[in-house]
Structure formats: C-alpha cells, structure tokens
Structure 1
Amino acid sequence: MELYELIAPCHFGLEAVMKREILDLGYEIERVEDGKVTFLADAEGIAYANLFLRTTERILLKVGQVHAETYDELFEATKALPWEKFIPKNGKFWVTKANSIKSKLFSPSDIQSIMKKAIVERLKQVYHMEWFPEDGAQYPIRVSILKDEVTIGLDTSGVSLHKRGYRKLTAKAPITETLAAALIMLTPWKGDRILVDPFCGSGTFPIEAAMMAADIAPGLNRSFLAEQWTHLVPKKCWMDAAEDARYRIRNDIETDIQGFDIDGDVIKSARENAKLAGVDHLIHFQQRPVAELSHPKKYGFLITNPPYGERLEDKKDLPALYQTLGERYRALDSWSMYLITSYEDAERYLGKKADKNRKIYNGMLKTYFYQYAGPKPPRREKEQK
C-alpha cells in the first residue's frame, strides 16, 4: 500500500506524548513540531490512527506543502497539487479552516476562497468538467501557514477526536478527553494502581483512565469522515482496525479508580458517561467534598482538574479550596498528585512546591500541570499486586 504523510495535531507542550503513542502503534515519525507530529502510514494506518490514538484532535492526510508570499503564488501552488488523487468528481470539498502565523498571507477568508478556486480549476482541467455536483463524500481541507510555508491537509476524522461518543452530559468547564488522556500519560500511573479524581466533574479523568486500563480504543464507538473515502481507504481497513480494537478489550481486569465531586447532579452525569463508555463497572463515583478526601491504601495517584476561578466572584473561594486539597493530599500515605490549573497561586495554597511544573495551553488558556511525585511502591509489593 502507498505511504501517506499523516499529521496529528496535539496540545502545545504534549508533542512527546503524541510521538510515543504513534511509535507504540508501529508507525514511523517523520517530524515533531510545535503542536503537531507528522508520521508515515498506509491506508490502514489512517483507520488505526483515528481509532486508537488518544491524544490527537484529528488525523490530517497531507496533500502538500508549498511556499507562497502572495495570493497569486498561493493560487498557482495550490492548483499544481494532485487533487484528483484524493477528491473524486462528485466529492464535496471546501477549506474549512485556515490559520496563519508570521506570514504575508494573513486573511483566513481570502486564503479559503482562493484555495477553493485553485482546486476547482485543477479538477476542471483533469476531469474535463465545468461544474461539480459536490453531492458525494466530504473532503474538508485544513491549511496552516507559518512564515509563508503552507501546509495543506485533508481532515480524515470529521468531528474532533476528543468526541469519543460517551460524553453526552457535561459539567461546567470540562477538560477535553484528549487532554485528559495526555495528562494521564505524563504520569507513571498504570491500570493496576489507584487513581482518584476529587473534582471529577463529568468524569473525564476516571473514564479515560479506565479506558486505558481496559485497552478500549477511544474511537471504537464513533464514525470518521474517511470511512466514505473508499477509493483511498478500503472499507476492509476500517473493519480490520475495529475488529482488532474489540479483540484487545480486557473485560476481566480489576481497578481502583474513583471520582468524587461535591455536586450530586454532576456525579449522576459522570456515571451515565462512564456507562456509555463501557467502563462504569471499573469506576466508583461518589458525591463527596474535597475536605472528605481519603483512602486507606498507599501509593495511589490524585489526578485532577480543580476549579480555576474563571469568574471573579469564584476566585475568593480558591485559597481555601487549594489549601484543603493540599492538606488532604499530605494526609494520604505515599501518594502522588498531578493537577492542571490556571490558578497562579496554586503551589502557595497547596503548601508545597511541585517537583515538576509543565506549561500547557488548554485552548487559549495558559495552564500549569503541577506534578508531585510520591515514592514508588517496593518491588515485592508490586509483584504481589
């Protein structure tokens, strides 16, 4: 099968996690850049990447990379690309998103309309048609321009991959599934270790952890745009990837994953989400304030997304909240704590400086991932578990 360049966008600061995921799937990394990883894969790889990768928002099939400093150059360079290889005569195509950084071409709407015209002109010449019905499969095009270098890709995923299909009910200000998965992967947590989220909201951290523990592919319960691109990705590729995903699921595992929240309605939503994800039997959800956080066992993990105080009136409550979290963490025996927050005074009120602190952009919001590493369990204790 032909090899394609595939682009996996990710959160800034989490490229290493994305790279490791792709390598674990068995694909060759071509390059790692800010906010994206490019790798080589065949048609089957398009299906596998969409089904199995936990930390990317979408999989782009790279059509080309061109240099353009004027709109005329952009038109000609776009027209020169082999669009007929990807888009059939009845394909519906449009430039769904264009972003530009440090480039002479800075108007997204102009970039979109000029590139659409260029693709139409190319396909007119190749297909000897003057008008395209565009009533077939969809081929959304995404464009990113950095210093006049234009990267053009077809979106194989469609709806963003953070939408796994399980989160029908969401609490306020949720963390995305892809970011939650990436943050868990930044910790040493494994499925046989304890994990507690004392501010679980709609249950994203516990659910993503349970899916990892049971080896449930994140894309198993959803569809992808490229499933309709049968000339590029045969249906057998999707069927084989889904069959492999179902085969890998481990239904017989035991876990100690818990999610707490002070809001009973939110806990009810979290349970529903876990049920839709197929992991409700692996998670214990309970209405409980952070002041009552406790666990009898050693060597567990707190992984959480506590309130940031987005609204001014909420900020006054944060010092007491973070102070309580710090106290409850210190009362746990030999635990680790990992939390993401935009609250600048988090360490001060937690009462301890983090061992590591990683800056991560959650959308446009600058956040910090504070990492408090507890001791490792003795080897003998690990073997007994």
Structure 2
Amino acid sequence: METSFEIFLACAPGLEDMLCAEALAAGFADVTALPGGVTVTGGWPEVWRANLQLRGATRVLARIGGFMAFHLAQLDKRSRKFPFGEILRRDVPLRVQVTTKASKIYHAKAAQQRVETALTDTHGLTLDAEAALTLKVRIDDNAVTFSLDTSGESLHKRGHKLAVGKAPMRETLAALMLARAGFNGHAPLVDPMCGSGTFPIEAAEIAAGLWPGRSRSFAFEDLASFDAGAYAAMKAGMPAAPDGPVRFYGSDRDAGAVRMSQQNAERAGVAGMTAFAMAPASDLVAPDGPPGLVMVNPPYGARIGNKKPLYALYGSLGETLKARFTGWRVAMVTSDPGLAKTAGLPFGPQGPAIAHGGLKVWLWQTPPLR
C-alpha cells in the first residue's frame, strides 16, 4: 500500500472546527473538516501521533486503500488480492464491520461474509467478533474503502482516569469545549461542579503540554506496520509535568467526587497544578491572582433527577459568579437554553449544538464579567 494515505479523526458532531484547528496547530497535512470529524494525510507515524497527541479526536481511522466493486464476486476477488499482509498480523484477531450506501452491493451482511472469507482463506487472518482491532469496510457508490480503527478503546479513555461519577463529561469533548471557550493553558480555570475533575485535569494537562495518550496502549501497536522503536522515540519527546503552581481549581458538594478528582489528578501527574475542595457552588470564591475562565457543566435534569429544582441552582450560581468573579469569563454547558438564561449571565448568542451522550448540548459563553 501507499506510504501516505487519508486518516480520519472522529469527534463529537458540532466540534469539528475545533478538532480541525487542533490538527492544524499540531502540524498535520491536508486538514479538512467533515461532518463527524476531520481528515488529514500521512503515514503510520502520523497515525501514531494522532492517537498519542490529539486531545479532541475520539478515534483515528487509517484509510488503507480500496477498489471499485459492483457485485459480491468482484468484492471477494479483489479483497483476496488486497495487500492486507503488509499491515495485519496473522496472530492478532480482528473483526469486520461493513456499511453500504447507494451501491449495487446493498446487502451489508453478505458483503461482510465475503470480506471475512477472503481474510481467513487467502490471507490467513484470525477473526473474532470481540477483537479490539476493527477493519471497517465502507461501500459507497460502488467504491470499497478499507479503514482500520487504530485506536481500539475510545480515545476519551486516557488511561489515567479510573474514577468517574454520574453522567461524566468525556475528556475528548471537554478538551474541544475548552478550546471553543478560548482556553489555551495560560489563564487559571475554576470548575465549581467538577464531578470527577475532567475540566481542571484537562486544563492542567494542556498547560503542561502533556499528551493525552501517554498512559495507554492503542490498537495500532498490534499491526505488522508498527515500529516499536520509532514509537518509543516519539513518546520520549513529551515534556515532563511541572510540580506547580496551582492554577486549576475544582470543587463539588459531594465528598466522593472531590476524592475521585484528587486521585485522578495524581494519576495524571498534575496534582501539583490542581486543587479540589468540597463546597457548594454558593460558597465559590475567586482564587487569588489574575482572572481566568469559569468552566462549568451543571446537571441538566434530562438524565439525572428532576429539572425543576435546577432553576434555583442555575440562578444561585449566576448570582455568585456576578458577585465574586469580576473580570472572569464563564463557559457553561447545558442541554436546556432555559436553564442557561436562568443564570442571568451576559451570555453571547447560542452556538452550534454539540452531541453529548445522546443529548444535544450547547456551550454558553460570556465576556469578562463586570
């Protein structure tokens, strides 16, 4: 196969522009935003680097090639000739997923069986419906495209956050929301409803230049194309986490959430840059130093509990921020525009909807509070 190919970086719908900006800033080539993600061009080192370094991508798919096929026999024949052995190892199981659209081959299950037979009979590969490595086959307008999911587990699973609370914010989503809120790691951040600490920990990692995939493994490590030495050299380029100072703060009224946040920060290596405390949002005060960003993901009432009591919560939070956080900007995530308005904060226009756990949410932002 070619040494350079298209790489698809998946992300939450509604945040493609933020992932596009991140990929451009990271130096990837031919960056293009598409619905549900971003495409770039590169080879296997770029696949490794995308998994290791990009904070907003949820999966990295390597589009390793394809061909035209107008019927099942042609799909079978050309799959047998495709150079899978250059990429896949016989001792590593994989699974096959097929989608078809506007093609003469319209039966996805039959197409899957033909590809699987070619993989086992001709290429000697092992199939397992539960395998971490996935070969995705897309048949669109009779064009067959093979893609490998090189990530394995979703990239929001950083590998160092073990404790989570109810309805957690995924790290990939949090990173792109921080980017949309203009956070670049230089200003302090406060999260008054921190849950398991996702926003303060992501903010600290961004400030420290720590790569999100540093603590985990990936499906690409089981490919025939993987160069362990080159990948180790790539990982060695990550800066070490600083000891401090504390600039990223989280609080929660639940003691268990605070404990989880502290443990997660320690595992992530940013305990020296973060501080967590048990306190209701009404007790929130601005930390000493320059103003920064209040990033908050309050309960929505859509999945957890009843929405009616939340109006008072949002109203109280808004009053606290207006009284004690002069000069700070606020970014609030919620699925209900009515709840956001209840906060009484000078939010700008409602932005694009963002997919989050089966819901549509919006990121509401203010200018510096006066």
Q: TM-score category by the smaller chain?
A: 0.7 to 0.9
The answer to whether residue 337 in structure 2 is matched with residue 344 in structure 1 is yes
Judging changes above 3 Å, is the alpha-carbon distance between structure 1 residues 189 and 133 closer, same or farther for their aligned structure 2 residues?
A: closer
Over residues 101-152 of structure 1, what are the superposed CA-to-partner deviations in whole Å (9 max), with x where a residue is unaligned? 787877765554343234445xx1xx5xxx65669x9742134566776543
Alpha-carbon distance in structure 2 between the residues aligned to 1:274 and 1:293: 21
Q: Report the counterpart of residue 327 of structure 2 in structure 1.
A: 334
Alpha-carbon distance in structure 2 between the residues aligned to 1:254 and 1:370: 29
Over residues 290-321 of structure 1, what are the superposed CA-to-partner deviations in whole Å (9 max), with x where a residue is unaligned? 11122155532111211011347421211111
Over residues 19-41 of structure 1, what are the superposed CA-to-partner deviations in whole Å (9 max), with x where a residue is unaligned? 22222222202532101211122
The answer to whether residue 197 in structure 2 is matched with residue 196 in structure 1 is no
Q: Report the counterpart of residue 323 of structure 1 in structure 2.
A: 315
Amino acid of the structure 1 residue aligned with 2:254: D
- Specify the SS of the correspondent of 1:315: coil
Which residue, 259, 262, 272 being the options, matches 2:263? Answer: 272
Q: Report the counterpart of residue 92 of structure 1 in structure 2.
A: 93
Stretches of structure 2 lacking an aligned partner (at least 5 in a row): none
Which residue, 291, 297, 311 being the options, matches 1:299? Answer: 291
- Checking the alignment, whether the CA contact within 8 Å between 1:5 and 1:39 is kept in structure 2 is yes
TM-score by length of 1: 0.84
The RMSD of aligned alpha carbons is 3.0
- Give the stretch that moved more between structures: 171-180 or 79-88: 79-88
Q: Report the counterpart of residue 165 of structure 1 in structure 2.
A: 159
Amino acid of the structure 2 residue aligned with 1:302: V
Over residues 212-270 of structure 1, what are the superposed CA-to-partner deviations in whole Å (9 max), with x where a residue is unaligned? 111111111111121232x312112210111012xx23415524110011101111111
Stretches of structure 1 lacking an aligned partner (at least 5 in a row): 377-385
- How far is 1:347 from its partner? 2.8
Matched positions, count = 364
- Give the stretch that moved more between structures: 34-43 or 145-154: 145-154
- Specify the SS of the correspondent of 1:239: helix
Alpha-carbon distance in structure 1 between the residues aligned to 2:23 and 2:54: 7
Judging changes above 3 Å, is the alpha-carbon distance between structure 1 residues 76 and 344 closer, same or farther for their aligned structure 2 residues?
A: farther
Which residue, 239, 260, 285 being the options, matches 2:232? Answer: 239
Alpha-carbon distance in structure 1 between the residues aligned to 2:262 and 2:99: 38
Alpha-carbon distance in structure 2 between the residues aligned to 1:361 and 1:184: 15
- Checking the alignment, whether the CA contact within 8 Å between 1:347 and 1:353 is kept in structure 2 is no
Alpha-carbon distance in structure 2 between the residues aligned to 1:312 and 1:173: 8
- How far is 1:183 from its partner? 0.8
- Checking the alignment, whether the CA contact within 8 Å between 2:292 and 2:328 is kept in structure 1 is yes
- Specify the SS of the correspondent of 1:20: helix
**Residue identity (%):** 31
Judging changes above 3 Å, is the alpha-carbon distance between structure 1 residues 168 and 84 closer, same or farther for their aligned structure 2 residues?
A: same
Q: Report the counterpart of residue 347 of structure 2 in structure 1.
A: 354
Alpha-carbon distance in structure 1 between the residues aligned to 2:67 and 2:300: 41
The answer to whether residue 109 in structure 2 is matched with residue 115 in structure 1 is no
TM-score by length of 2: 0.87
Where in structure 2 are the equivalents of 1:72-221 lying within 5 Å? 75=76, 78-79=79-80, 81-95=82-96, 97-98=97-98, 109=109, 112-120=112-120, 124=122, 132=125, 139-144=133-138, 151-221=145-215
- How far is 1:69 from its partner? 7.5
- Specify the SS of the correspondent of 1:46: helix
